[in-house]
Amino acid sequence: MSQIMASMQIDSLASASFISGAVTLAKIVGTFGAAWISIKYGVKYAFFIASLLIVMGLLTPYAPNYELLLLSRFLMGLGGAFMIVYFNPIVMQFFSLEERPVINGINAVAFNVGTAIVLWMMADINQLTGSWQTTLIGFSLASLVLALLWLTVQFQPQTQSANNSADGQNSASSQPYWQGLKDRFNWVYGFTYSGLLTFYICLFTFYPEAGISQSKWVIGFGIIGTIAGIIYSKRQPLRLPVIRFSGVMITLNIIGLSFIELPWLQTLSAIVLGFFIFFPVTALVSIPHELPNMTGERITVTFSLFYSISYLFSTIILWVFGKLVDINQGDYRLSFMMIALLSCTFFIGGYLLPETGKTKELSPCEA
């Protein structure tokens, strides 16, 4: 962020927030329209379109001005928005209900591995390539190769979800957006994630600018937390207890990271925070997959709205965060208070979401 701000001569954090906000705004637009694209072109080619849009990050190093920089970031974010939605019908296509928690967890940890590589090795990568611009070009070209490889995947869409009832009824096979918008679950689901997502974006956008450099520990232990969450979710089918407990730990450690000035305590807070941000992800993502009569089309709409709602919230708060810092002449305390308070949505959501996990009934011998 600091290098991009310097190259574009940006000195306002509110303006800088739009650099990340352009990606976030794209996710709002993209996730809301993702279902329409998949219905029109099929999930396989919709995913390919998403991959090509991510390659548009190639334009970022060549942007001659702030406006074109935002456009390039928007296109890349649009691809990412489509992709995170399409993961879910793809998982439903290839994996059984029992396998999906593990696969969803692997998807989450894959993202964390990529982020960890950037956070821990970006300086070395830039030194190897010569500049951040060359690094981004390399990442974009790698994305292009992966997009072309995706075309080799054999993808035969299922006509009916494995979750459907045995009598063949498919009453939820088509859920247009107006129905999704009336579904209370979609709003609660987006609300639950919104505060955590906002903090997560701020962590990598603004915390280093505030002199808090422990963000790399969040990602590092986030990988461990995701793996632990996969194992936990396989052994403990109930979804809400882990979301509630993790919500408490997340808010407490955001406070520790933001306000404790002792470096070792900040690092400890970042480590615990990273673990508990990602520990409940498998459970959270599994909930829609376990709802009754879930289908590929319906789950696409559900996750479209999930990300649209949470990213819309984040976009607004990101700008407010930067504006508060500007108004307070570089003082981050009020902004940090706001972020810590908003992170409570994850804990609150743990009491509003439905419990979709089913405990196994013990046999008389086991009892």
- Asked if the structure places residue 133 within a domain, the reply is yes
Angle at the Cα of 109 from the Cα atoms of 26 and 279, rounded to 5 degrees? 100
Structure tokens at 206: 């603004």
Evaluate whether residue 248 is within a structural domain. yes
The tens digit of pLDDT for each residue in 178-196 reads: 788 888 999 999 999 999 9
Q: Is 355 within the bounds of a domain? A: no
**310: domain CATH number?**
1.20.1250.20
Widest CA span in the chain:
72
C-beta separation of 160 from 295 below 8 A: yes
Residue 25 lies in a domain: yes
Q: Is 311 left (phi over 0), alpha (psi -120 to 50) or beta?
A: alpha
User: What is the tally of structural domains in the chain?
Assistant: 1
Name the stretches of the chain with pLDDT < 70: 1-25, 27, 30, 157-176, 359-367
Classify residue 265: in a domain, yes or no.
yes
**Taking Cα atoms as reference points, which of 296, 293, 290 lies closest to residue 168?**
293
Residue with tokens 């819309």: 312
Q: Could you tell me which residues come within 8 angstroms of residue 240 by beta carbon, excluding any fewer than 6 positions away?
A: 283, 350, 351, 353, 355, 357
Whether 158 maps to a domain, the answer reads no
What's this model's pTM, rounded to 2 decimal places? Answer: 0.78
Residue 16 lies in a domain: yes
Residue 39 lies in a domain: yes
Residue 293: closest CA among 132, 133, 146, 179: 179
CA geometry: angle at 133 spanning 128 and 137, to 5°? 85
pLDDT for the residue numbered 131: 85
How far apart are the C-alpha atoms of 143 and 125, rounded to whole Å?
Answer: 17
pLDDT digit string (tens) for 197-254?
Answer: 999 888 877 888 888 888 778 888 988 998 999 999 888 889 999 999 999 999 999 9
CA distance 135 to 129: 6
Domain housing 253: 10-150+172-349
